[in-house]
């Protein structure tokens, strides 16, 4: 237990890790706001969360904090301490509320208006935002300060269901989230597909290059 606590809270360059963590989850939330407005879909977790939050007439940040808080309790009840850290809390709280904040900012600046955007403008926003989002997620993973509650569940399942590869478990998990979100009215599109298939390799590439920053 002490070893796990040291790993999550007493790592080298802790201040640098925390700064990168906060920036990463804030940027992730901003990107989800853009994705939601250009209507090309979002990542699997956001497809699910936006679908439920909209049905319940809740802010994404409020719903996500409650839902991820429940998942975090499940992780703790199963004593899977290695998945819990500052990153778990940051992911649970900051991504959703960051998205809500940028919704207000974009509306106040009268940009990314769903009713007036043409296809060209939407595509122009899609490409850079998708790139920034995947880099932000990669850095969130690289700092190794704990998994987001949504991400911890398939990792735990993989520990106990060893005959099924983690990639397969994660794909089923994400596809289930997408299906539920879509049934609840969320938009599923190119962002959902690209993040589902290409996020892993991008995380690996960024981790290889930037992990020495935190060693």
**pLDDT tens string 169-202:** 888 888 899 999 999 999 999 998 888 777 777 7
pLDDT-based confidence at residue 207 (cuts at 50, 70, 90): confident
Residues sharing a CB contact under 8 Å with residue 121, sequence separation 6 or more, in sequence order: none
pLDDT-based confidence at residue 14 (cuts at 50, 70, 90): confident
pLDDT-based confidence at residue 7 (cuts at 50, 70, 90): low
Predicted confidence at residue 3, as pLDDT, reads: 56
Length reported for the chain: 215
pLDDT-based confidence at residue 96 (cuts at 50, 70, 90): very high
Best CA proximity match to 28, nearest among 91, 107, 108: 91
> Do the beta carbons of residue 49 and residue 131 sit within 8 Å?
no
Average pLDDT, the chain: 88
Helices (H) and strands (E) in the chain, counts: 9, 0
Instruction: Report the range of poorest mean pLDDT among 3-17, 133-147, 181-195.
Output: 3-17
Is residue 28 packed enough to be buried (19+ CB in 10 Å), middle (13-18) or exposed (0-12)?
Answer: buried
pLDDT-based confidence at residue 1 (cuts at 50, 70, 90): low
pLDDT-based confidence at residue 52 (cuts at 50, 70, 90): very high
pLDDT-based confidence at residue 165 (cuts at 50, 70, 90): confident
**Higher model confidence: residue 158 or residue 24?**
24
Question: What is the C-alpha to C-alpha distance for residues 165 and 125, in angstroms, rounded to an integer?
Answer: 35
- SS (HEC) of 131-144: HHHHHHHHHHHHCC
Two tokens, residue 55: 């049905």
Any idea which residue has 């904040």 for tokens? Answer: 101
**Higher model confidence: residue 200 or residue 87?**
87
Question: What is the C-alpha to C-alpha distance for residues 59 and 62, in angstroms, rounded to an integer?
Answer: 5
Predicted confidence at residue 82, as pLDDT, reads: 83
For residue 8, pLDDT beyond 70: no
Mean pLDDT of 153-178: 87
**pLDDT tens string 98-113:** 999 999 999 999 899 8
């Amino acid at each position: 237990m002490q070893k796990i606590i040291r790993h999550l809270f007493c790592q080298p360059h802790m201040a640098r890790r925390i700064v990168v963590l906060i920036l990463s989850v804030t940027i992730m939330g901003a990107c989800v706001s853009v994705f939601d407005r250009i209507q090309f879909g979002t990542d699997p977790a956001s497809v699910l969360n936006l679908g439920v939050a909209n049905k319940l007439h809740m802010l994404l940040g409020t719903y996500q904090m409650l839902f991820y808080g429940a998942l975090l309790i499940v992780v703790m009840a199963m004593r899977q301490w290695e998945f819990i850290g500052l990153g778990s809390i940051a992911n649970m709280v900051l991504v959703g509320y960051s998205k809500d904040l940028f919704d207000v900012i974009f509306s106040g600046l009268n940009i990314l208006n769903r009713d007036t955007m043409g296809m060209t403008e939407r595509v122009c926003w899609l490409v850079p935002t998708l790139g920034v989002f995947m880099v932000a997620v990669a850095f969130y993973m690289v700092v190794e300060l704990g998994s987001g509650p949504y991400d911890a569940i398939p990792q735990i399942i993989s520990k106990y269901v060893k005959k099924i590869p983690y990639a397969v478990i994660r794909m089923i998990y994400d596809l289930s989230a997408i299906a539920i979100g879509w049934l609840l009215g969320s938009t599923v599109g190119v962002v959902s597909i690209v993040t589902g298939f290409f996020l892993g390799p991008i995380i690996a590439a960024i981790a290889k290059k930037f992990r020495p920053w935190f060693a």
